[in-house]
Structure 1
């Protein structure tokens, strides 16, 4: 439905130039969508400066991913590490067989094995529910929106004689137009119910809802102390993270807010644990 809206919007934008304009605009939109589909996972990993991790480097992480994948009878995804102290994790992948899970250095430092298992199960659930495909594709589309607007104001036609005024005008354009448009794309595609579903599915996979609840508490505190920098390449991919990665008291974080409240996620997991413990 979202892609149909994007194509329809492109056709409407090109209708002012006749039939040729409609065809040209739709061809351009299809090219952008295709690019986002095929490269969304790679771009997300690049944005976090992630690299493939070897089993010798992170044997515990490999063991957790391998065991959970085997228990669920799912293909084992590739494992990446991001060299950032901000504690978080995310999943990408067009299909279940070419998916990847990425953990930051920070999350490996603050979570114990039980908690890490809960987070990995959560991310694997995103892969097998196809949430990772949608999130990475939409993140790439939103990134294209911001890039196109940056490119537009940097062209000679959009420049003023005063370089400082041009820079301010361009920044204002990106904030007033690019940010809300990119955020709208992400919000249309990403539902908070996806987080609740992945929490429940991941907790069922491990059989330990409280492990994920404990991990979320640590991630909430850790991301508050060590947030990701609100750079454009990261802003359009914050929705992919296990925990909201930016400070919650900024305009950018409120604009791109897609995560369910951590308190509610933890409460749901605790109720799930109580239900499993009941005779």
Structure 2
């Protein structure tokens, strides 16, 4: 569905941003809004990966780690035709993962301790493959830009009462309405872009790891874990929720107002359609197509 719809949504986000600038200060406001957009996106382009990893206190994993995670990522990256990304571990019991970085040459994959403790090697490989698909599709850069736009729109809208031009054009009621509706519209566009990219990453991730049912099984387990285990860092930084393979937020009522991810059951159904008639693999029938993935227990810790 992919790139055409994403381009349209990005255009809508840009138009909304410039429109807010015009309502605040006329044609001059468009120029100011454009300048702010360029500055914020330049900063995000170069620093977003470091910022996000720091927010979640992610720790780097080096080659030869005892879990074999680094080697697994390296093998899957070769399967995907990608440079080796940096690998990070997040010390939270919630099973989850995300990718970040401005391009494939400057990318990182971060997984949580909970993911390694609750999923099999095959499922972990499928999750990593999904994140590598985001990197290959340049989704990490797209989502950084949309998040920056959404934040900038909210910032401009909050300044609306201080701009005389907006009050003259819209009146006090219209200005207040814009303060509410503009960030809401930006959030909706951001969520639509995020959802559109998840299905594509699922499809390509399944191809990279070699078995769509591994990813289907992983999504089901992560959904169950994320629904009952808090991710404190994600709750403190909800703007990063769209980056995770499954929405990490649930602890606060506001978390459920909007969803940055498609329904997990719909994603699983799409993966099953890629492998009609296939069931989740049993230990005796597990494929050996993914390097470093060893036969063993179907579920449970693999560290």
CA distance in 2, matches of 1:271, 1:3: 29
CA distance in 2, matches of 1:72, 1:20: 46
In the alignment, the residues of structure 1 paired with residue 242 and residue 113 of structure 2 have an alpha-carbon distance, to the nearest angstrom, of 19
Q: C-alpha offsets along residues 220-239 of structure 1, whole Å, 9 cap, x if unaligned? A: 11001113349675321211
Between the aligned partners of 1:193 and 1:9, the Cα distance in structure 2 is: 19
Structure-1 residue corresponding to 2:239:
236
**Matched residue, 1:132:** 140
1:100 offset after TM fit, Å?
0.6
Q: May I ask how many residue pairs the two structures share in their alignment? A: 255
Report if aligned partners of 1:230, 1:252 keep a CA contact under 8 Å in 2: no
2:49 matches 1:41: yes
Unmatched runs of 5 consecutive residues or more in structure 1: 156-172
Q: Contact conserved, 1:136 with 1:240, CA < 8 A, in 2? A: no
Whether 1:64 aligns to 2:72 is yes
Contact preservation (8 Å) 1:86, 1:106: yes
User: Are 1:2 and 1:188, in contact at CA under 8 Å, matched by a contact in 2?
Assistant: yes
- Name which structure has the greater RCO, CA cutoff 8 Å, separation 6+: 2
1:274 to 273, 276, 281: 276
Report the RMSD for the aligned CA atoms in angstroms: 3.2
Deviation at 1:199, TM superposition (A): 1.4
- Normalising to structure 1: TM-score of the pair? 0.77
Partner of 1:99: 107
Instruction: Give the deviation of 1:114 after TM superposition.
Output: 0.9
CA distance in 1, matches of 2:183, 2:85: 32
Q: How does 1:1-279 map to 2 (within 5 A)?
A: 1=8, 4-15=11-22, 17=25, 20-57=28-65, 59-144=67-152, 180-181=184-185, 183-190=187-194, 192-229=195-232, 234-247=237-250, 250-255=253-258, 257-274=259-276
Per-residue deviation at 1:99?
0.7
Cα offset, 1:214, TM superposition: 1.4
